[in-house]
Structure 1
Amino acid sequence: MMILRPYRLTAAIVSLTALCAGPLAQAQVLEEVVVTAQKREQSLQDVGVSVTAFSGEQIKDLGFTNSVDVIAQTPGLSYGTPTAEGNNASLTLRGVGLADFNDNNEGPVAVYVDEVYVSALSGVTFQLFDLERVEVLRGPQGTLYGRNTTGGLVHFVSVKPSEETQGYFEVTVAENSQFKVEGALGGSLGDAVQARLSYAHNEYDGYVDNRGPGTEDPNDADNNAARLQLAFQPTDAIDVLFNVHGSKNNANMGAWQHEATYSPDGGVTSLPLPADLNLYGSCPGCDAFGYRDDDDDPWAGAYDRDGDLDIENKGASLNFQWAGDSVTLTSITAFENFERLYEEDTDISPFKIVHNTYTADIDQFTQEIRLSGETDAMHWLAGFYYYDQETDGGFQIDASGIGFIIGDANYKQETSSWSLFGQIEYDLSDRWSVIGGLRYTDEERELDYLSQELNGLLPPDANVMFDYDEKISHDNVTGKLELDFRPTDSTLIYGSVSLGTKSAGFNTGLLDETGLFGLTVRGDVPYGEEELTSYEVGFKTDLFGGTSRLNASAFYYDYSDYQAFAFVNLNQVIFNTDATVTGMELEFVTNPIEGLDILLGASLLDAEAEDIPLNDASGITRDRTMTLAPDFSLNGVVRYEWGVSAGRVAAQVDFNYQDETFFDIQNHPISREDGYDVWNARLTYYSQDDTWSVSAFVNNLFEEEYRVYSFDVTNLFGFNQVAYGRPRWAGVSFRYNLN
């Protein structure tokens, strides 16, 4: 059951009462939101897909600075940080996600930036700057997007160059010595040529206090990103957009919190270790190495390693569009490179026990060609998509500090895939229309993997722990059938059946068949593709004379060969099983009086994975709640704006509530996070001509202590790795607009 703390609820009611104490205004028509969910511009209310969209202005007003920030105000979307803040993120939409952090994998919730697919998990987390909008599409998008969109997708769209000279500059100073600056400048360079240059920098000190021998306070940041766009119109029918971009994110290691744990039943269940129990013979309440973090501070710890987190991205794309009399040809060619180095104090103690290091270099090439057109009663689209990716990855576990292994794994994975797809939308009458689409995909993936023991625990000529070189290939057909009904001009009712898949792949990490570290079964290295069949109904409607908008959807997912993720000792394993997911979302937006905007969103979810084996050798299986899939979540924004003598003032409160959730498919008690709510507040003054504005903000207003992820290594080391969200964070921003 949802419980919001009484004092927070009272504060919200008082704030809302104060904001509403203004004169009633005539009904206003809400601003139309344009999205490209079906690869053409449409009003959000005309698309029979469950979509949450944020305009660039909303992104600014909500204080979103990072790609994962949109989660707070998107029903059904959640995430975890399996390898520390700013690192490989795990997005989960309607319970569909994958918590694996290996660089050779891709998530089932796809991320696109300016119509280019981002394959690398390390590329999912990035700075937000100079954006036109963000679109979140729920449910399988197996026709128009195809690749690994069983859960849906998140699309970030940049502001494009224009003929008018436009730009802005914004600077933020905040707690933890944060200094953030971003800006953009664009306009015409001559006849039929425009450009736009955008830049962002964000740095702050570590907000976790290090009491150990390490020299740095972790969870800091030093991030830079830039984007240059050049647009050409050589003829009236041709538009060319060139986009070159890059980013570099540097931080001290992500700081896990240490929780001593034990299993009372041989590994089936993991529980917190009582402070007075000397289970491992080291000290009361301590893990197997004799350490216990007992300061009760989620933003402090004792670390001996100042690990680096370095993520670099560089890429370019060419978007070519030719518009004929009745057809439009679009070609998008893109190249992306992602490099990652992550060093971790895995034992999260002041002693050198276990240190993990991850490296990856990922090259990606994509080519999409689309042909589209329309008649009085029909919209159609056909296309071809090619994808090629190469991942050079490595993983090292160094336990030499306790006289154990130095396991060194290196691999190369190559993936090539091509697809043909098409979709037709046909108007049966003024009120009824039908949409049908199909996509055929052919894919091949090869893994060349070698892990070795470097600490001399095996003979030099027998130090190979695992050697693997195999290929997998598969093809599939996905698609969609949808029926739309418009009983009024302001109401859409839709029902759809859609099919999505996620590619087959390989488990990596420290694979071992020597018995020194573990005992990997070679047949468990590959896992099969997953398939999701979605049945969905929904409606979108305007209410109360256009002052309000209500969108709702309900769905049932039949999941075949769901790619479940389990963390076994220090290795991660993906395996196939079945699952079912049911749920619904609701979004309500209203402008009841002049100046007052209220946005509310809610998600109900029942996500269950079947036949999950116990973490032992018994062979017993159980049904389990899927990870990062809370039964209920609620989000909202209340914003009131009023005029003053020399400008405008806006006061805003936003919140996000998340019900109980699990970080591990075993549903251990130590992997469960109870329900929590996070509140933010912002006050902004705008100049009379909107040339400049200044804002004061407080994030995590009540300094909620909440976990965003955990890794259970009870059976191996007797502790749980726990990652917490940020503490209270206050600051001010100044923005200048050049228009």
Structure 2
Amino acid sequence: MKKDKTGIPRTRLSAAVSLALLAAGPVAAQQLEEVVVTAQKRQQSMQDIGISVTAFSGNKLRELGMTSSTDIVTMTPGLNYTTPNAEGSQTNFFLRGVGLNDFTDANENPVAVYMDEVYRGAMAGLSFQLFDIQRVEVLRGPQGTLFGRNTTGGLVHFLSEPPTEEFSGYADLTLGEESEVKFEGAIGGAISDTLMGRLSVATHDYDPYVKNRLGRDYNGLESRAARGQLKWVPSDTFDVLLSANYAKNDAEVGAWQHQSTKFGADGFTSVALPGNEDFWGTCPGCDVFGYSDTDGDPWAGDYDREGTVYVKSEGGAATINWDLNDSLTLTSITAYQTVERTQEEDTDAGPVPLAPSFPAETDQFTQELRLSGGDDRSQWVAGVYYYDSEVEATYTLDALGLGFVFLDTDMTQDTESWSVFGQYEFAINDQWSVIAGLRYSSEEKELDYQGFDRSGIFAAETAAGNLPLTPTRPLPDSTFFFSTDTVGSLAKHDETNVTGKLELDWRPADDLLLYASYSRGTKSAGFNTGFLDETFIFASNVPETVPYDEEVLDAFEVGFKSDLAGGLVRLNGAAFYYDYSDLQTFRFELLNQVIFNTDGQYWGGELELTAAPMEGLDLALGAAYLDTTVEDVPDGAGVPRDRTAVSAPDWSLNASARYEWGFMEGTMAALATYSYQGETYFDIQNPDIAQEEGYSLANVRLEWASPSDAWILSAFVNNVTDEEYLVYTFDFTGSFGFNQQAYGKPRWAGVSARYSF
């Protein structure tokens, strides 16, 4: 397929242009609905804020068939995600290329995830079912003032349907391929004159779709979730919302595809191994263990271990709103969340006994207290925020079946931080306004880590004098001890920082906003964990390389928000330049992940168009361009080179068209969606084996709604063309001579029925 100079296939570019032209065509029967968001801690029209935002209503999520928190990436320009362990496990969001593909439980995302104004720090708890959702907001760019913690790239905010006085609810059942059964439902209403509640539940099950030639099949799902809310409103000026949540994901996942690899001509760059070359001396086309997967089927493999991802999340929150007077509101949000995770996978993606396990638990407490107020010309908010987290993990690597080691690690990381923040917006006149915000944060983080070899190999080498005892190897079978007792202040971070923003808005007309802003965001400092080893046999750790510094992002952005053709067309756009200092960058060495600090520059922009060119027809188009440079990444020879950031496609496009017409006294609607992801790397070294060259996904949906919308019947097909596309790779060439590959879901069809009351 031919491409133009932008790198986008001409047919895709033509389709995008056609949609834009159609949007300026026939007159629609009604204007586009106003989109209300809470990006500045108060309800505002999306068109009135100088932040690049994509938002989905709960009804739009349903129409688009989005059932998981990660599904929103397909229709959000500039948003991507990776799951370095397995589907449903550690989830890393990337926004405008800002993200971190680490998979240790001690780390947090630089794209923050919030649920009902509560920060979710544990990456294991970020893949969850979408059910009974009122709205999802994606805010691009650092949100270092009002949200603060780890919002270098932006944030994703999920908001539940709240309790109301009106008795209402729904039940939704979906049946699909691989014996899929998905149910969600909710019921709520007034319990008394001052008390109302809502209960929401969801289940999702399907059989494995990756066939295992040696045993139990892979990539199935068993998921349960529930949310309960009670809202007490004793007066017009005071209310309390109590909420509790529970989710459990128990799945047979982790089915990597196996690709045999070798070192290239430079001696360190990984390349695919030809099927007729015996590079490792085991057999032609084989890895170090003598295995090769040559069937070319991304949905089958030879797995000698039953892969499992088990994630349980539960918690609760109390939100209090008190109007002290007509212009002053006090808000308190107290929340606790615990996430348990166990990850077991067949790392070698073949019949070799190489079995790591990653059990961990994260406990988190947060408290936010803020005051907000304003008048006709100004709005302000000020507050304090407290965060406390404890992560406990016990990772093991069982290679005894290979006559190798049994690595056993125990880790505890404690984090405590607090911050004060404030933002002020002032209208200079009817056209010009200025926004200024500032946040001061202080954080302490401490790591206590112990690593052992249970096979006796290390102890034997120590007895032979080959592995000397050191303060960080105090015992014969120890691999690494890292705590304040052994390395002193290296095991503790004590940081303060100042973030914030400055923005200028210009409204030359009621339906046009132009803005320019500078903002700063940070991601907190941390520690490298995993299978640390000072012996340089399985890793290359010395105490000085375990801690890494916080990253700082200075962002410059210009953009516009516009409503055209009398409200029938909405066109929003933004361009940005990011200057990174101490960018936290991930690379893999031997058997261990390593995060190090460097610098970088990113630039690009997004364009989003929605239109109703004729009665019954709704169109949406999104596009994002991204250029990233990560500086001074050492290659296999230790030579620093500039690289492209991971999960940062140069181009991404999304489009949807929905047409609605009367049918059988109700309404029939047909929906088609399209998304394109351009060239993407999954490894900071940018080898060809860690690259997805670009792919397209198309979904279709047909639904009928009864006259009152009480019943909605749907049929859908996702990934209509059965596209085979990579969503992640992991390179083990240096250790074992293979590359792990993970593919997205195959074509998936189903039907659903929904009843609302």
Q: TM-score, normalised by structure 2?
A: 0.94
Equivalent position of 2:465 in the other structure:
none
Q: Offset of 1:264 from its aligned partner?
A: 2.1
Equivalent position of 1:420 in the other structure:
420
Mapping of 1:175-324 within 5 angstroms? 175-212=177-214, 214=215, 216-265=216-265, 267-324=267-324
Q: Offset of 1:568 from its aligned partner?
A: 1.3
Mapping of 1:388-403 within 5 angstroms? 388-403=388-403
Structure 2: distance between partners of 1:79 and 1:253: 17
State the secondary structure of the residue aligned to 1:324: strand
Is 1:509 matched with 2:504? no
Is 1:695 matched with 2:696? no
Equivalent position of 2:647 in the other structure:
628
Gaps of 5+ in 1: none
Q: Offset of 1:397 from its aligned partner?
A: 1.1
Cα pair 2:19 2:621 within 8 Å, conserved: no
Equivalent position of 2:335 in the other structure:
334
Q: Offset of 1:16 from its aligned partner?
A: 8.5
Structure 2: distance between partners of 1:107 and 1:355: 26
Match for 2:46: what amino acid?
L
Equivalent position of 2:97 in the other structure:
95
Cα pair 1:568 1:615 within 8 Å, conserved: no
Match for 2:307: what amino acid?
G
Match for 2:391: what amino acid?
T
- Of 505, 519, 534, the match for 1:484: 505
With 264-273 and 518-527 compared, the bigger mean Cα shift is at 264-273
Equivalent position of 1:43 in the other structure:
45
Q: For residues 461-483 of structure 1, what are the alpha-carbon distances to aligned partners after superposition, in whole Å with 9 as ceiling and x for unaligned?
A: 50010000121110000000000
Structure 1: distance between partners of 2:311 and 2:223: 9
Is 1:595 matched with 2:609? no
Equivalent position of 1:81 in the other structure:
83
Equivalent position of 2:665 in the other structure:
646
Structure 1: distance between partners of 2:135 and 2:631: 38
Q: For residues 143-183 of structure 1, what are the alpha-carbon distances to aligned partners after superposition, in whole Å with 9 as ceiling and x for unaligned?
A: 00000000000000000000000100000000010000000
Mapping of 1:497-576 within 5 angstroms? 497-576=518-597
Q: Offset of 1:265 from its aligned partner?
A: 3.9
State the secondary structure of the residue aligned to 1:59: helix
Q: Offset of 1:24 from its aligned partner?
A: 4.9
Q: Offset of 1:569 from its aligned partner?
A: 2.0
Change in 2 beyond 3 A, CA 1:3/1:541:
closer
Equivalent position of 1:709 in the other structure:
728
Equivalent position of 2:345 in the other structure:
344
RMSD over aligned Cα, in angstroms? 1.8
State the secondary structure of the residue aligned to 2:532: coil
Equivalent position of 2:470 in the other structure:
none
Q: Offset of 1:333 from its aligned partner?
A: 0.0
Equivalent position of 2:146 in the other structure:
144
Match for 1:224: what amino acid?
R
With 115-124 and 517-526 compared, the bigger mean Cα shift is at 517-526
State the secondary structure of the residue aligned to 1:459: helix
- Of 445, 465, 469, the match for 2:479: 465
Q: Offset of 1:266 from its aligned partner?
A: 5.8
Q: For residues 629-669 of structure 1, what are the alpha-carbon distances to aligned partners after superposition, in whole Å with 9 as ceiling and x for unaligned?
A: 01111001111011123101000100110110000000011
Match for 2:493: what amino acid?
I
Q: For residues 678-700 of structure 1, what are the alpha-carbon distances to aligned partners after superposition, in whole Å with 9 as ceiling and x for unaligned?
A: 11000001111111010000000
State the secondary structure of the residue aligned to 2:621: strand
- Of 41, 48, 59, the match for 1:57: 59
Equivalent position of 1:382 in the other structure:
382
Q: For residues 492-551 of structure 1, what are the alpha-carbon distances to aligned partners after superposition, in whole Å with 9 as ceiling and x for unaligned?
A: 000000000000000000000123323311100000000000000000001112110000
Match for 1:683: what amino acid?
L
Sequence identity of aligned pairs in percent? 55
State the secondary structure of the residue aligned to 2:689: helix
Equivalent position of 2:164 in the other structure:
162
Q: For residues 12-57 of structure 1, what are the alpha-carbon distances to aligned partners after superposition, in whole Å with 9 as ceiling and x for unaligned?
A: 89x999xx99x95545221000000000000000010000000011
Structure 2: distance between partners of 1:623 and 1:409: 34
Structure 2: distance between partners of 1:4 and 1:89: 30
Q: Offset of 1:394 from its aligned partner?
A: 1.8
Cα pair 1:79 1:91 within 8 Å, conserved: yes
Question: What number of residue pairs does the alignment pair up?
Answer: 728
Equivalent position of 2:431 in the other structure:
431
Cα pair 2:539 2:589 within 8 Å, conserved: no
Cα pair 1:253 1:342 within 8 Å, conserved: no
Cα pair 2:250 2:311 within 8 Å, conserved: yes
Match for 1:160: what amino acid?
P
Match for 2:702: what amino acid?
L
Structure 1: distance between partners of 2:221 and 2:404: 33
Q: Offset of 1:90 from its aligned partner?
A: 1.4
State the secondary structure of the residue aligned to 1:408: strand
Structure 1: distance between partners of 2:164 and 2:369: 25
Equivalent position of 2:408 in the other structure:
408
Equivalent position of 2:451 in the other structure:
451
Match for 2:177: what amino acid?
E
Is 1:118 matched with 2:114? no
Mapping of 1:354-369 within 5 angstroms? 354-369=354-369
Q: Offset of 1:4 from its aligned partner?
A: 5.0
Cα pair 2:555 2:579 within 8 Å, conserved: yes
Change in 2 beyond 3 A, CA 1:472/1:26:
closer
Equivalent position of 1:174 in the other structure:
176
State the secondary structure of the residue aligned to 1:40: coil
Structure 2: distance between partners of 1:61 and 1:134: 14
Gaps of 5+ in 2: 461-474, 484-490
Q: Offset of 1:242 from its aligned partner?
A: 0.3
Structure 2: distance between partners of 1:426 and 1:394: 51
Change in 2 beyond 3 A, CA 1:620/1:515:
closer
Match for 1:119: what amino acid?
G
Equivalent position of 1:128 in the other structure:
130
State the secondary structure of the residue aligned to 1:630: coil
State the secondary structure of the residue aligned to 2:191: strand
Match for 1:316: what amino acid?
G
Cα pair 1:331 1:368 within 8 Å, conserved: yes
Structure 2: distance between partners of 1:351 and 1:627: 29
State the secondary structure of the residue aligned to 1:654: strand
Structure 2: distance between partners of 1:267 and 1:706: 29
Cα pair 1:267 1:715 within 8 Å, conserved: no
Equivalent position of 1:105 in the other structure:
107
State the secondary structure of the residue aligned to 2:514: strand
Cα pair 1:81 1:723 within 8 Å, conserved: no
Q: Offset of 1:307 from its aligned partner?
A: 2.1
Structure 2: distance between partners of 1:602 and 1:430: 32
Q: Offset of 1:235 from its aligned partner?
A: 2.3
State the secondary structure of the residue aligned to 1:69: helix
State the secondary structure of the residue aligned to 2:734: helix
Structure 1: distance between partners of 2:588 and 2:29: 54
Q: For residues 401-422 of structure 1, what are the alpha-carbon distances to aligned partners after superposition, in whole Å with 9 as ceiling and x for unaligned?
A: 1111111111000000000000
Cα pair 1:4 1:677 within 8 Å, conserved: no
Cα pair 1:534 1:555 within 8 Å, conserved: yes
Q: For residues 598-650 of structure 1, what are the alpha-carbon distances to aligned partners after superposition, in whole Å with 9 as ceiling and x for unaligned?
A: 1000001001100000123xx31100000000111100111101112310100
